């Protein structure tokens, strides 16, 4: 039987079934590793990359958007912030549905609606329309988290960290390549064409997912939607590892967003005066670092999650030294970008590997709650970096990023041995 024809049912009884959690949701039986071929893992990664890219296309285009809509450069970061607000709302109200509904239908439906939102961005006549459409793009881009949770469910336990690492590599690479792609396309055909082209690709992706993903049938005894939302609060109350790792996500993505949101401003201005395509090339360097960190999930599978986290956070802090030397050499800047993106990906993969092991029956809610903190961090980093740049220039942005990275390292050191919650596992 083809992978796409295999139904995955929550709550089936018999061999291999798992007990229900305290919310009433039956736990999902994990299929064997043979049910998740390498080509399907690749599709998950590509779909995640294409979806998350929709959030980040705007970053190298902020100066063009500011000119088009007559918005001050110091305020244009609101475009990214509004997208992240939409993303946060989606994480709270849409992602938990993955523990209740057929994930296949949920994923394909979100992809189709995302295409409509992207078209609205490409045709936006005013700044207000643009912001509303960007919020919708962020709201629907949370399909990424439903995909990651689905991949974690289908993976065998001993390979879950590796699979999450490969799929999450697609997420981070999509974030970084979005800058190169959007910059290149914008130089050729204007910034609006970026979103119209992405709408077409998103529709094609929806068709591929509909054909390949297995059906995922919800259990009859699944909780109601309000119960599902309330249970997210309970997960944070009961699981210290979720609280710790969510806080780390907030900090590392605030630093990440501070770099990538503000970097286009000095690079597109004298003395560099780089084009959008040239600015986007820095995303290729960052993608190389993110890809290299994809093996962090394997280290987590081997019980080295804390070691990986500590090393990666230390490297993230040190990376701001070459980043601050932009005025000396763009090659030095590139080194800092590679190290910073490598570090972020390593921590992010490790975070997800740990939280997915806590409550198998609640993976969509776990990743949704975790990524709310990611979204908050990204939004705060975006708006803070453009404001700091207007006040203190590039060195001010680097000081902001280094401070956030130092706080993340200190926080990890103080909480690296959290008290296990009722659903926690060792490691």
In a domain, 87, yes or no: yes
In a domain, 26, yes or no: no
In a domain, 5, yes or no: no
Q: What is the CATH number of the domain that holds 331?
A: 1.20.1250.20
| Residue 358 to residue 366: CA distance in whole angstroms | 9
Domains held by the chain: number: 1
Q: Which residues sit opposite 9 in a β-bridge?
A: 217
**What's the first-to-final CA gap in the chain, in angstroms?**
36
Which candidate, 92, 161, 163, places its Cα nearest to that of 354? 161
Residue 34's pLDDT is 45
Widest CA span in the chain: 68
Tokens 């960052």, located at residue = 286
In a domain, 22, yes or no: no
Q: Is residue 427 classed exposed, middle or buried when 0-12, 13-18 and 19+ CB atoms within 10 A define those classes?
A: middle
Residue 294's pLDDT is 62
pTM recorded for the entire structure: 0.74
In a domain, 411, yes or no: yes
Other CB atoms within 10 A of residue 395 CB: 13
Phi-psi region of 421 (alpha: psi -120 to 50; beta: other; left: phi over 0): beta
Other CB atoms within 10 A of residue 390 CB: 16
In a domain, 9, yes or no: no
Residue 219's pLDDT is 52
| Residue 212 to residue 206: CA distance in whole angstroms | 10
| Residue 184 to residue 174: CA distance in whole angstroms | 15
- Whole-number CA gyration radius for the chain: 21
Q: How confident is the prediction along the chain (427 residues), in pLDDT tens digits per residue?
A: 344 444 444 433 333 333 344 444 433 333 444 457 888 889 999 999 999 999 889 877 888 898 899 888 767 778 877 887 898 899 889 998 888 888 899 999 999 999 999 999 999 999 999 999 999 999 999 999 899 888 888 887 777 777 887 887 788 778 778 878 888 898 899 999 999 999 999 999 999 999 988 876 555 566 788 888 888 889 999 999 999 999 999 999 999 989 988 898 899 889 998 887 787 788 777 777 766 666 776 777 777 889 999 999 999 999 999 999 999 999 999 999 999 988 998 898 899 888 988 887 788 888 888 988 987 898 889 889 988 998 999 999 999 999 999 999 999 999 987 544 444 443 4
CA-to-CA separations, 297 to 194, 199, 310, 355, 425, in angstroms, rounded: 32, 31, 15, 12, 16
Contacts of 353 (CB under 8 A, 6+ apart): 160, 161, 164, 165, 296, 297, 300, 301, 305
Q: Is residue 19 classed exposed, middle or buried when 0-12, 13-18 and 19+ CB atoms within 10 A define those classes?
A: exposed
Residue 300 lies in domain: 31-415
Residue 293's pLDDT is 62
In a domain, 426, yes or no: no
Which candidate, 137, 144, 203, places its Cα nearest to that of 169? 144
In a domain, 421, yes or no: no
Q: Which residues sit opposite 20 in a β-bridge?
A: 26
Residue 8's pLDDT is 45
């Amino acid at each position: 039987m083809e992978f796409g024809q295999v139904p995955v049912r929550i709550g089936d009884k018999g061999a291999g079934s798992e007990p229900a959690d305290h919310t009433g949701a039956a736990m999902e039986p994990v299929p064997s590793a043979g049910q998740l071929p390498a080509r399907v893992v690749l599709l998950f990664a590509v779909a995640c990359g294409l979806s998350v890219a929709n959030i980040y296309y705007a970053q190298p285009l902020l100066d063009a958007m500011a000119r088009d809509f007559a918005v001050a450069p110091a305020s244009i970061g609101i475009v990214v912030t509004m997208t992240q607000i939409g993303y946060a709302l989606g994480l709270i109200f849409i992602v938990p549905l993955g523990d209740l509904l057929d994930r296949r239908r949920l994923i394909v439906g979100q992809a189709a609606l995302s295409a409509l939102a992207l078209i609205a961005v490409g045709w936006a006549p005013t700044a207000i329309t643009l912001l509303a459409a960007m919020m919708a793009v962020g709201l629907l881009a949370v399909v990424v988290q439903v995909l990651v949770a689905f991949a974690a469910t289908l993976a065998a336990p001993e390979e879950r960290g590796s699979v999450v690492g490969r799929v999450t590599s697609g997420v981070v690479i999509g974030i970084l390549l979005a800058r190169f792609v959007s910059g290149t396309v914008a130089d050729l055909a204007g910034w609006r064409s970026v979103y119209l082209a992405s709408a077409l690709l998103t529709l094609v992706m929806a068709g591929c997912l509909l054909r390949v993903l297995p059906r995922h049938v919800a259990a009859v005894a699944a909780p109601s939607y309000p119960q599902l939302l309330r249970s997210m609060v309970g997960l944070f109350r009961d699981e210290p590892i979720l609280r710790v790792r969510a806080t780390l996500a907030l900090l590392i993505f605030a630093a990440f967003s501070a770099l990538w949101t503000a970097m286009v401003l000095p690079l597109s201005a004298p003395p560099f005066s780089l084009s959008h395509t040239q600015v986007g090339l820095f995303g290729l360097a960052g993608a190389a670092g993110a890809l290299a960190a994809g093996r962090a999930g394997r280290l987590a599978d081997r019980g080295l999650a804390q070691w990986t986290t500590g090393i990666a956070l230390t490297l993230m802090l040190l990376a701001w030294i070459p980043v601050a030397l932009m005025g000396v050499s763009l090659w030095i800047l590139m080194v800092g970008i590679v190290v910073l993106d490598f570090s972020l990906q390593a921590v992010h993969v490790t975070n997800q590997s740990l939280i997915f092991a806590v409550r198998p029956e609640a993976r969509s809610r776990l990743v949704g709650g975790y990524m709310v903190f990611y979204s908050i961090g990204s939004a705060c980093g975006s708006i803070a970096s453009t404001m700091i740049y207007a006040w203190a220039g590039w060195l001010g942005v680097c000081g902001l990023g280094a401070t956030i990275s130092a706080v993340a390292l200190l926080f990890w050191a103080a909480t690296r041995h959290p008290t296990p919650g009722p659903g926690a596992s060792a490691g």
